[in-house]
Structure 1
Amino acid sequence: MQIHSIFRAACIIAAATATTTLTGCASIVSGTNQVMSVETLSKTGKVDGATCKLQNDKGVYYVTTPGTVNVHRAYGDLSVTCEKAGMPAGLAVIKSTTKGMMAGNILFGGFIGAGVDAASGAAYDYPVLLQIMMGESVGNPLLPAPVAGAPAVSGGMN
């Protein structure tokens, strides 16, 4: 009976270790934060020195362009407002995307791991480069209409 108890305890410990190790796969692989580059543009070219405010349901972040900022990943959209004296503001709403590793997380980490990553924001990504067009509003029908003839905001490449 003693060997049976030891074997059972070892199995329970192994299962608990596997469960805690495999949950939260995306948070382990890429974390809950993401570095993003932000550039501001006008019809005539790059605009340096604009102050941008990025906001999602996990926090508010500031950057002066061109620059990089560390944001907390989230399911929700990222609202971006860039301002510079003498220029109309650039407004954009950037959609988050679900990472492909979420499927693997469900397979190997179970729904607990997927839930951990969804709640922490680790399961989501924003584009690495944001190019915000000054005088434009892009990505949200509630924002003011964009300036006619100006190019659209680019979310960049992942």
Structure 2
Amino acid sequence: MKKIFTVACALSVILSTTSCATIFTGSKDSITFNTKPEGAKVIFQGVEKCVTPCTTEFQRTLGKRTVEIKKDGFESKEVKLEKNFNAVTLVNLIFGGIIGFGIDLGTGAFLKYDPKTYTVELKQN
């Protein structure tokens, strides 16, 4: 009986301190960029992430994320990456895991990027 109680207590502590969204959905999202015409650079914080068509990862965060789409001979465009609430985070609240919820907040895992694909039409200069 003592062993069962110990296992139950340990399980309770583990469940209440997990960060479900971080564990189950990670803290990054892959986002696909398409442009018309193809071959544009996707630039984030001054760094080229990829050339379209492409898929690249972005760390989830509370802050706003914007990428710049650039191609020689075409007007540049800024694209704001949209986010939505990650419902997996609710598991922490249901099981009383405020610590886990805090971890999800800190890692940005309580949000997820949505949509996961952006198509941008570039205008010629």
TM-score between both structures, scaled by the size of structure 1? 0.65
Structure 2, unaligned runs of 5 or more: none
The Cα offsets for residues 65-96 of structure 1, whole Å up to 9 and x where unpaired, read as 00000111112222010101011101122232
CA RMSD of the aligned region, Å? 2.3
- 1:33-112 residue pairs with structure 2 within 5 A? 33-40=28-35, 46-55=36-45, 62-112=49-99
Q: Which has the higher contact order (CA 8 A, sep 6+)?
A: 2
* Greater Cα offset, 85-94 or 46-55: 46-55
Deviation of 1:38 (Å):
0.5
Give the whole-Å Cα distance in 2 for the aligned partners of 1:109 and 1:25.
12
Q: Secondary structure at the match of 1:53?
A: strand
The Cα offsets for residues 11-33 of structure 1, whole Å up to 9 and x where unpaired, read as 6544433333xx21011111011
The Cα offsets for residues 31-67 of structure 1, whole Å up to 9 and x where unpaired, read as 0111110112xxxxx2111001135xxxx66111000
**Is 1:18 matched up with 2:15?**
yes
Count of residues paired in the alignment = 119
Letter of the structure 2 residue corresponding to residue 49 of structure 1: G
Asked whether the 8 Å contact 1:91–1:132 carries over to 2, the reply is no
Question: Among residues 99, 111, 117, which one is paired with 1:129 in the alignment?
Answer: 117
Point out the structure with max Rg over C-alpha. 1
Change (3 A) 1:35 1:18: same
Give the whole-Å Cα distance in 1 for the aligned partners of 2:72 and 2:57.
25
Give the whole-Å Cα distance in 2 for the aligned partners of 1:69 and 1:117.
22
Identity of aligned residues (%): 27
Asked whether the 8 Å contact 2:15–2:97 carries over to 1, the reply is no
Asked whether the 8 Å contact 1:53–1:63 carries over to 2, the reply is yes
- 1:137-148 residue pairs with structure 2 within 5 A? none
Structure 1, unaligned runs of 5 or more: 41-45, 136-158
Give the whole-Å Cα distance in 2 for the aligned partners of 1:104 and 1:30.
12
